[in-house]
Amino acid sequence: MKPKMHGAVKSTGYAAGSLLTVADLTVVEVAAILAATDRIEQMSSGDRARMLTGRRIALLFYESSTRTRTSFELAAKSLGAITTLVSDKSSSIEKGESLKDTGLTLRALGAECIILRHANSGAPYLLAKATGLPVLNAGDGMHEHPSQALLDLRTILARLPGVNAGRIDAKTLAGVTVVITGDILHSRVARSNAMLLPRLGAKVVLCGPAGLLPEDALGLGSALNTGCVEIERDFDKALKQAQVVMMLRIQRERLAGLELDLADYIARYQLNEERLVVGAPKAVAMRLVMHPGPMIRGLEIAGEVADGPNSAIEDQVRHGLAVRTALLVRALGAGGFESVTV
Ligand code: ASP
């Protein structure tokens, strides 16, 4: 397995249409994906269902998921594809079958594309190499969650006036500061966003206590040196600059021995109504409080904020469904993505 724990390394030699890391996407490709998302969204359901009629897509999930799994599945079905879900809880994976053998079995059964979520960073590279199929990384360990970063980008762009998704460039997010707060160390969402958003001109400010946000945050040392990604440990100071506030869950399943005083964490880093309204006027003006889910209400975010008028959390879910239709069309070389290479 190729464990890609640090920085942005491009992957080459995998089936066209694979999406293993956001580092593989040029800004032009990001624009093409977002433009295709718009086009597919505007199609009638009948036309959309003809795009991937009868194509076989396997969802291979070794970790729990609600939003990512369901949206990929619904996206595939809306395009007319046939889907099958294989999860570690109800398959031969439980009996110890390897990722490679599971992938080869799915390919022998006719799968043309595999969507993989796995607890190990780098697992999608192994699967893509072993099967030669296009693989979409639906979250691998502490590494990446590329479709999440794309849906987050679309959520942000939707709140900016006059942006044409198909024409985004390195300046589209100039002047936009995105504050990502919480368990940055374990977050593939933070990593993918911190790699993608600055390429469109955004500044990303990472915020959290040292235990959850080490100095070389996410291994993105080079990005930290460019000034596009910064660390600010004081949440209230970070909020003052933020047009976008992205809150992250404390990932208990990955804490492995890290002691965290939850009461102290809540006092310093919970996004509550007062903190937001008084401390983050620009994010309130944009109505851009985001969270990839699952949220732990009362811990990183207060229920009143999650349900409040500044929350874009349900919009993120809707954009996730839309973006994933385009990623599937791209993976299967349909709808104008024929020439895609990675
Ligand atoms: N759903 C996101 C992920 O799979 C965030 C989280 O689990 O907290 O990475």
**Assigned token pair, 193:** 């966003």
Residue 321 C-alpha to ligand 1 middle, in angstroms?
A: 16
Mean pLDDT is highest, among 48-57, 211-220, 227-236, 249-258, for 48-57
Q: Which of 181, 249, 291, 297 to mutate to test the pocket of ligand 1 (most atoms within 8 A of CB)?
A: 249
**Count of alpha carbons within 13 angstroms of residue 66, beta-carbon side:** 5
Q: Using a 6 Å cutoff on CB, does residue 189 contact ligand 1? A: yes
Residue identifier of the C-alpha nearest atom 4 of ligand 1: 139
Contact 302, 273 (CB under 8 A): yes
* Residue 258: per-residue pLDDT: 72
| C-beta of 139 in contact with ligand 1 (< 6 A) | yes
Name residue 332's amino acid.
L
Nearest to 320 by CA among 191, 188, 146: 146
pLDDT score, position 166: 87
> Chain centroid to CA 219: how far?
18
**Beta carbons of 260 and 194 less than 8 angstroms apart:** no
Helix count and strand count (H, E) for the chain = 14, 9
Residue type, 182: G
The number of the ligand 1 atom at minimal distance from the alpha carbon of 183 is 8
What pLDDT is stored for residue 23 in this prediction? 93
Contact between 184 and 269 (Cβ < 8 Å): no
- Rounded to whole angstroms, the Cα distance separating 117 from 64 reads 9
What is the structure's pLDDT at 252?
76
Whether residue 165 has pLDDT greater than 50: yes
Collect all residues with Cβ–Cβ distance below 8 Å to 318 and sequence separation of at least 6: none
Residue 288 backbone dihedrals phi, psi, to 5 degrees? -125, 65
Give CA angle at 116 (111, 118), nearest 5°: 145
The C-alpha angle with vertex 265 and arms to 262 and 268, in degrees rounded to 5, equals 150
**In this structure, is the dihedral angle defined by the CA atoms of residues 212, 190, 205 and 316, taken in order, positive or negative?**
negative
**51 close to 79: Cβ distance less than 8 angstroms:** yes
For residue 81, give the nearest of 40, 140, 42, 122 by alpha carbon.
40
Say if CB 180 and CB 248 are below 8 A apart. yes
Cα 153 from Cα 157, distance rounded (Å): 6
Q: What is the pLDDT of residue 251?
A: 80
Can you tell me the mean pLDDT for 44-72?
97
pLDDT band at 341 (very low <50, low <70, confident <90, very high): very low
The minimum-distance atom of ligand 1 relative to the CA of 145 is: 9
Give the single-character DSSP code of 271.
B
pLDDT digits (tens, 9 = 90+) for 72-88: 999 999 999 999 999 98
Does the C-beta of 320 come closer than 6 Å to ligand 1?
no
In the reported structure, the alpha carbon of residue 281 is separated from the centroid of ligand 1 by a whole-number distance in angstroms of 27
User: With bands split at pLDDT 50, 70 and 90, how would you rate the model's confidence at 14?
Assistant: very high
Mean per-residue pLDDT, 249-273:
86
Q: Measure the CA–CA gap between 120 and 342, rounded to whole angstroms.
A: 22
pLDDT band at 339 (very low <50, low <70, confident <90, very high): very low
pLDDT confidence of residue 2: 37
| Nearest atom, ligand 1, residue 63 CA | 4
Residue 86 · residue 58 · CB < 8 Å: yes
- Is 259 or 199 the better-scoring residue by pLDDT? 199
DSSP 62-90: SS--SHHHHHHHHHHHHTT-EEEEEETTS
pTM comes to: 0.94
Q: Can you tell me which residue has the tokens 């980008």? A: 153
Q: What percent of the chain has pLDDT over 70?
A: 92
Span 196-244, pLDDT tens digits: 999 999 999 999 999 999 887 766 656 655 678 999 999 999 999 999 9
Least Cα distance to 34 among 159, 150, 135, 147 occurs for 150
- pLDDT single digits (tens) 180-189: 999 999 999 9
* pLDDT tens per residue across span 320-330: 999 999 999 99
Residue 95 pLDDT: 81
